[in-house]
């Protein structure tokens, strides 16, 4: 075979190999369309599945908010900051459950016995809101509930009343008569201490209120007092009122406590404050007796606890949002039916109403310094939280045990 013939043969052989190596197999037109349709279908299926999964996750976020699980002791984010590592801290829902179980009280829990709503003699809701516990958020919830339920109304006159701490007997009677005389199905909200309706032979309303960590309350008040929102309101009421110096508005809480500034010294048993600061959370529950005035007083706290136990249908907390809304819905159904739904629909309005925008960092050491002076105030606060947990457990004990959330 000649050289040219051999080269020609090899070239033909290479062409044949390349033809097989890079061959393209023609597909029918309908097959191509089928493959494209399958690809689109798979993409659509994945999109729908992902969208559905995302929706389920959002539902779970609403149903299982951190507030409820922190109370269960499942996240380590406990109610009492200085006891954050204790999963059986009695000041959590889980700790309250364990305590009741260990003392044999668990099986005796009764939603009926824990429900003071049945003791009310008139269906008027009396919210004598404590300062800086999220009462403005509760007001926003009231507004949503009134819009949702045709048989409810909101009496706004209390919103225009000045904050009154200690009232004369005459003033107490006038306030009690106003509340007792409201139409049934009315929400009444006002910054006012507990009133004894029985003393004036008036029908009992449905008492509710809220509590908040005592130290967080006074820090919140410190910056709220310096907010443009509050000062604009005060200026409209009293345009001739002397404006405080710029240094007062820029005051730092950490330095205020450490420097011994009288404004940030929470001295036990004092009666008069250097500057009003609403540090006595228990005062709103104790009432107008002189024994209620001393700060961090065991006597005042005991009186406040007795009033809560006897008179209040619910004392909730925004620190435990789901627990509070569940208890309100079940223990006071006329006023709070649909409360969870309304909260979900109006979350932004409720959580952002009157919210402090200025929240500087507060040193843990500073919080611990002043916490030592709030021992009895913390006793009252934890008493209210434990009572709330007992009410919740009485409603949901079987379900919680069934799902293993309390083991």
User: Average per-residue pLDDT in the chain?
Assistant: 83
**Would you state the pLDDT for residue 73?**
36
Using the predicted structure, report yes or no on whether residue 63 has a pLDDT greater than 50. Answer: no
pTM of the model: 0.77
Using the predicted structure, report yes or no on whether residue 400 has a pLDDT greater than 50. Answer: yes
**Would you state the pLDDT for residue 59?**
43
Question: Span 403-407, mean pLDDT?
Answer: 75
**Would you state the pLDDT for residue 58?**
42
**pLDDT range class, residue 11, cuts 50, 70, 90:** low
Contacts of 212 (CB under 8 A, 6+ apart): 130, 132, 133, 134, 220, 281, 317, 318, 319, 381
Residue 373: name the closest of 219, 259, 211, 265 by CA: 265
The per-residue DSSP string of 253-286 comes to HHHHHHTT-GGG---TT--S-SS-----TTHHHH
Range scoring the smallest mean pLDDT among 71-80, 91-100, 232-241 = 71-80
| Coil vs helix vs strand at 313 | strand
**Residues taking part in catalysis:** 191
Range scoring the smallest mean pLDDT among 57-71, 189-203, 325-339 = 57-71
Using the predicted structure, report yes or no on whether residue 116 has a pLDDT greater than 90. Answer: yes
**pLDDT range class, residue 85, cuts 50, 70, 90:** very low
Of residues 44 and 278, the one with the higher pLDDT is 278
State the DSSP code for 184.
Answer: T
**pLDDT range class, residue 195, cuts 50, 70, 90:** very high
Measured between alpha carbons, how far is 200 from 294 in angstroms, rounded to an integer?
26
Residue 202: name the closest of 167, 175, 163 by CA: 175
Q: Which residues pair with 305 in a beta bridge?
A: none
Using the predicted structure, report yes or no on whether residue 234 has a pLDDT greater than 70. Answer: no
Q: Which residues of 332-359 are buried (b: 16+ CB within 10 A; e: fewer)?
A: beebbbebbebbeebeeebeebeebeee
Containing H/E element for 195?
none
Using the predicted structure, report yes or no on whether residue 90 has a pLDDT greater than 60. Answer: yes
Beta strands (DSSP E) in 202-360 are: 206-210, 312-316
Count CB-CB contacts under 10 A for residue 177. Answer: 12
State the DSSP code for 45.
Answer: H
Question: Span 80-97, mean pLDDT?
Answer: 65
Contacts of 243 (CB under 8 A, 6+ apart): none
Using the predicted structure, report yes or no on whether residue 135 has a pLDDT greater than 50. Answer: yes
Q: What is the pLDDT of residues 201-224, one digit of tens each?
A: 999 999 999 999 999 999 999 999
Cα-based angle 75, 81, 85 (whole degrees, multiple of 5): 50
Q: Which residues pair with 312 in a beta bridge?
A: 207
Residue 71, Ramachandran bin (φ over 0: left; ψ between -120 and 50: alpha; else beta): alpha
For the beta sheet containing 206-210, the strands, ordered from the edge strand earlier in sequence to the opposite edge, are 153-155, 186-189, 124-127, 206-210, 312-316
Percent of the chain with pLDDT over 70: 75
Of residues 169 and 402, the one with the higher pLDDT is 169
Q: Decide if 335 contacts 125 (C-beta within 8 A).
A: yes
Measured between alpha carbons, how far is 254 from 66 in angstroms, rounded to an integer?
28
Using the predicted structure, report yes or no on whether residue 87 has a pLDDT greater than 50. Answer: no
Using the predicted structure, report yes or no on whether residue 53 has a pLDDT greater than 70. Answer: no
Using the predicted structure, report yes or no on whether residue 275 has a pLDDT greater than 90. Answer: no
Count CB-CB contacts under 10 A for residue 257. Answer: 22
Q: State the residue for tokens 């800086």.
A: 132
């Amino acid at each position: 075979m000649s050289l040219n013939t051999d080269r020609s043969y090899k070239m033909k052989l290479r062409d044949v190999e390349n033809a097989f190596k890079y061959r393209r197999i023609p597909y029918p037109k309908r097959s191509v369309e089928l493959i494209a349709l399958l690809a689109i279908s798979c993409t659509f299926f994945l999109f729908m599945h992902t969208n559905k999964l995302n929706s389920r996750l959002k539902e779970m976020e609403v149903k299982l908010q951190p507030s409820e699980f922190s109370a269960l002791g499942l996240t380590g984010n406990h109610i009492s900051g200085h006891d954050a590592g204790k999963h059986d801290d009695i000041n959590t829902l889980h700790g309250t459950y364990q305590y009741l179980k260990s003392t044999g009280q668990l099986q005796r829990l009764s939603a009926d016995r824990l429900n003071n709503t049945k003791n009310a003699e008139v269906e008027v809701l009396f919210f004598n809101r404590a300062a800086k516990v999220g009462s403005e958020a509760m007001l926003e919830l009231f507004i949503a509930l009134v819009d949702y339920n045709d048989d409810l109304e909101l009496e706004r006159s209390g919103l225009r009343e000045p904050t009154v701490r200690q009232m004369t007997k005459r003033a107490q009677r006038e306030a009690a008569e106003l509340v007792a005389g409201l139409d049934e199905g009315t929400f009444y909200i006002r910054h006012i201490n507990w009133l004894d309706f029985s003393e004036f032979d008036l029908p009992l309303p449905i008492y509710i209120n809220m509590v908040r960590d005592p130290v967080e309350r006074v820090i919140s008040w410190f910056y709220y007092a310096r907010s443009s929102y509050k000062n604009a309101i005060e200026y409209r009421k009293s345009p001739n009122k002397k404006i405080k110096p710029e240094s007062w508005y820029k005051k730092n809480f950490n330095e205020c406590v450490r420097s011994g500034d009288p404004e940030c010294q929470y001295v036990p048993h004092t009666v008069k404050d250097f500057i009003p600061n609403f540090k006595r959370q228990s005062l709103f529950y104790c009432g107008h007796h002189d024994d209620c005035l001393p700060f961090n007083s065991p006597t005042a706290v005991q009186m406040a606890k007795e009033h809560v136990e006897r008179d209040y249908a619910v004392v909730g907390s925004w620190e435990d949002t789901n627990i509070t809304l569940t208890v309100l819905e079940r223990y006071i159904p006329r006023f709070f039916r649909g409360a969870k739904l309304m909260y979900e629909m109006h979350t932004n309005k409720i959580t952002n109403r009157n919210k402090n925008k200025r929240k500087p960092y507060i040193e843990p050491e500073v919080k611990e310094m002043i916490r030592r002076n709030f021992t009895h105030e913390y006793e009252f606060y934890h008493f209210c939280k434990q009572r709330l947990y007992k009410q919740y457990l009485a409603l949901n004990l079987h379900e919680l045990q069934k799902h293993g959330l309390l083991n």
